[in-house]
Amino acid sequence: MEDKMAMVIFQPSGQRGEVPKGINLIEASRLLGVDIETLCGEKKVCGKCKVRIEEGRFEKYGIDSKKSHVSPWQEEEDKYIKAKEKESGYRLACVTNVEGDLLVFVPEESRAGKQVVSKAARDIEIEQNPAVKIYYVAVEGPSFEEPTGDFERICRGLEKEYGLSNLRIDIQTLRQLPTALRDGDWKVTVSVWMDQEVIRVRPGKVENHYGLAIDVGTTTVAGYFCNLTTMEVVDTVSLMNPQCKYGEDVMARITYHMTTPDGLKRMSNDIIEGLNWLIDQAVKGTYPPKKKKKKEKGEKGPAEYVEVPEEGKTYLRLTREDIEDITLGGNTAMHHILLQLNPEHMGLAPFPPVIHHSLDIRARDLNIDINPSSYVFVLPNEAGFVGADNVGVLIAEEPYKKDEIQLIIDIGTNGELVLGNKHKLISSSCATGPALEGAQLQFGMRAAPGAIERINIDPETHEVDYKVIGRDAWRKYSEAKDMKAKGICGSGILDVLAELYNAGIVMKSGVFNKDQKSDRYRKNPDTNQPEFVLAWADESSISKDIVITQKDVRQIQLAKGALYAGCKLMMRRMGMEKVDKVKIAGAFGTHVDREKALIMGLFPDCEIEKILSVGNAAGDGCRAALLNRDKRKEANWVSRNVEYIELTVEGDFETEFMEALQIPHMTDEFPHLEGIVPDEILHQK
């Protein structure tokens, strides 16, 4: 009988195990806990998952090197794997199936690095009015004259002291109530949700209560852990969206749902597990667990603060139950997948979501492990491709309260645009695609250590200076071997096009200038395509020249063209020639160089000073909804009062898009580039 399992070992990590024969190497890597980059979600179009197969059986089975233990070569692989690489055993992991015992080497450029997340909390003004409030109440114990039940007893106290009436109580909290009342000698602190429902009762007087605002991005999940009493951000926590292993962008995830039984449930479980991990981080951060002191006799429940004399510090001592409220934002696909709502229809024209309105869902119904009676508030969606994350941006930035015309661009894996002021707001989304985030480019990567994030090119010498994530010193102040560059990430990608253009290396059309003086410009011998070397092999950790190719430039042009055309069409729809302010949001937005963004023509012309980076505004909106319940109403209002425009059905989208592919040159459209871009470049024909 043939064995149905095969032993697979991944190098250099050494992770190993038996996997069912017939699965592909990406699936095998997941089973064995190895991270292989799969930007396209196994759609065979990114070529990022190259691995080297080293055939052979292991001692346990004896040697049998004549038989191939992988499935045959696929046509698609020719596009990404050169003849020479093929010879030495390179394959795409996504099309290569396990047929027998294998030793697989994962080269560094194929390893999924841990993304560097930078979503710190901004100072934004929020009025204090959280959905969950705490009330201290002291009542008389029961007697024969007054044998009223426990719940009615505290309700009477809450009504008398605070005017709260018609309260209800969740069954889980009701179960705690008798003990809390008696432990606290009929004095308790009651947490009330929306002045409607008792969701927690703690003995005695407690001063503080806590909540978490979470922005679920396609790539990054960021959480703001807030004290709901003092309004302070206690901590910010983040993680990679664990769904990244199913594909980088929303369409890859939707495809995964449509092609995999239980795929939706699996992705939902993964993000929920991620949120629970995030909650754990938030709570753990408040008090070092190894210092946890033992509960002393007679002590009633854990004290909120604990002193650590040897450190001279006082720490918060919190548990998961101390989180009493959560707000959640995310694009419509992340929203649907997290809630296990079918995302299939929102992925197809005319892109209807399952729901727009916000939701109050009991945390336990989502398996989110906090105070068991608490609710999770899920922000509303605007449309299929403008989701709750954009609503978050809106309630943080409040363009609907301003006179000035704002253009807000949220660049995540998808581009979301809002334009208008207090009289009218319209929104749209455009398929920037993942190019601006590093996918689809030959050396594109996520914002992980080794990624080039800043680039300057000397217009005279065409020498390249750059900075990588994980190292403060720029190239020109470093030894080559210390740079350890691996690829180029989002912010570097924006820089590179502006710099190549500014230095005259590429023309306004995006074509490389053939009249080059630098040895960094060359034609690739294999593809016969022009390319420009950003970092030489000895500066890299992958022993290869890191280049930007003609094809890469085209990809960036497609992305920026989509964004620019979107902005342009929205302005036309609103009958506008110019905007008063451009706000760039998104994790991407915090890193982008606004001058370079304007040079490459990411959006229509605007005074440089009026271009603002607003960081993770979506997360700020979640935080606003956490700390001020009125923001929740505002969110629902704005989600139904922003007019969503589907750009691709506008008649002149194609024309605008084609024009927008060009890098801006001197036309009436970009007066503000004058003096920033050299004259001979700006006025080129």
Residues that bind a second copy (CB under 8 A): 142-144, 147-153, 168-169, 171-172, 174-175, 177-179, 182, 339-342, 344-345, 349-357, 359-362, 365-366, 381, 383-384, 644, 646, 649
For residue 349, the minimal CB distance to a second copy (Å) is 7
Residue 597 carries which side chain, given as an amino acid letter?
Answer: A
Question: What b/e sequence results for 555-568 when a residue is b if at least 16 CB atoms lie within 10 Å of its CB, and e otherwise?
Answer: bbbbbbbbbbbbbb
For residue 597, the minimal CB distance to a second copy (Å) is 31
Residue closer to a second copy by CB (options 182, 293) is 182
For residue 341, the minimal CB distance to a second copy (Å) is 6
Residue closer to a second copy by CB (options 616, 639) is 639
Residue closer to a second copy by CB (options 342, 590) is 342
Q: How many CA atoms lie within 13 A of 25 on its CB side?
A: 33
Residue closer to a second copy by CB (options 153, 623) is 153
The edge-to-edge listing of strands for the beta sheet with 406-411 is 611-615, 581-585, 406-411, 415-420, 425-430, 643-644
* 326 close to 622: Cβ distance less than 8 angstroms: no
Map 23-48 to HEC letters: CEHHHHHHHCCCCECCCCCCCCCCCC
Rg, Å, the chain Cα set: 28
For residue 217, the minimal CB distance to a second copy (Å) is 21
* 388 close to 335: Cβ distance less than 8 angstroms: yes
Residue closer to a second copy by CB (options 173, 286) is 173
For residue 450, the minimal CB distance to a second copy (Å) is 41
Q: Residues with Cβ < 8 Å from 391, sequence gap 6 or more?
A: 329, 379, 380, 381, 382, 621, 635, 638, 639
To the nearest 10 degrees (0 to 180), the angle between helices 388-397 and 617-627 is 80
For residue 258, the minimal CB distance to a second copy (Å) is 13
Residue closer to a second copy by CB (options 352, 671) is 352
State how beta strands 487-488 and 451-457 pair: parallel
Residue closer to a second copy by CB (options 93, 158) is 158
Token output for 665: 């040159």
Residue closer to a second copy by CB (options 349, 473) is 349
Q: How far is CA 661 from the centre of its chain?
A: 27
Residue closer to a second copy by CB (options 288, 352) is 352
Residue closer to a second copy by CB (options 195, 344) is 344
For residue 367, the minimal CB distance to a second copy (Å) is 12
For residue 427, the minimal CB distance to a second copy (Å) is 13
Tokens 């450029």 belong to which residue?
Answer: 109
Q: How far is CA 389 from the centre of its chain?
A: 10
Question: What b/e sequence results for 483-501 when a residue is b if at least 16 CB atoms lie within 10 Å of its CB, and e otherwise?
Answer: bbbbbbbbbbbbbbbbbbb
The edge-to-edge listing of strands for the beta sheet with 132-138 is 132-138, 187-193, 197-203, 168-169
Longest dimension (CA), the chain: 100
For residue 211, the minimal CB distance to a second copy (Å) is 20
For residue 141, the minimal CB distance to a second copy (Å) is 9
For residue 340, the minimal CB distance to a second copy (Å) is 6
Residue closer to a second copy by CB (options 128, 367) is 367
Q: Is 34 exposed, middle or buried (0-12, 13-18, 19+ CB in 10 A)?
A: buried
> How far apart are the C-alpha atoms of 467 and 46, rounded to whole Å?
25
For residue 218, the minimal CB distance to a second copy (Å) is 20
Residue closer to a second copy by CB (options 143, 528) is 143
* 285 close to 322: Cβ distance less than 8 angstroms: no
Identify how many contiguous H helices and E strands the chain contains and give both numbers: 17, 29
Question: What b/e sequence results for 239-252 when a residue is b if at least 16 CB atoms lie within 10 Å of its CB, and e otherwise?
Answer: bbbbbbbbbbbbbb
Q: Is 179 helix (H, G, I), strand (E, B) or coil?
A: helix
Q: Taking Cα atoms as reference points, which of 452, 504, 498, 447 lies closest to residue 475?
A: 452
Residue closer to a second copy by CB (options 354, 612) is 354
Residue closer to a second copy by CB (options 247, 387) is 387
For residue 632, the minimal CB distance to a second copy (Å) is 13
For residue 573, the minimal CB distance to a second copy (Å) is 15
Q: Is 230 helix (H, G, I), strand (E, B) or coil?
A: coil
Question: Cα 210–216–217 angle (5° rounding)?
Answer: 145
For residue 316, the minimal CB distance to a second copy (Å) is 30
Helices (H), 233-341: 250-259, 263-284, 332-338
> How far apart are the C-alpha atoms of 68 and 77, rounded to whole Å?
18
For residue 118, the minimal CB distance to a second copy (Å) is 32
Strand partners, 457: 464
Residue closer to a second copy by CB (options 185, 482) is 185
Q: What is the CB neighbour count within 10 angstroms for residue 79?
A: 10
Residue closer to a second copy by CB (options 344, 595) is 344
Peptide bond into 12 cis (omega under 30): yes
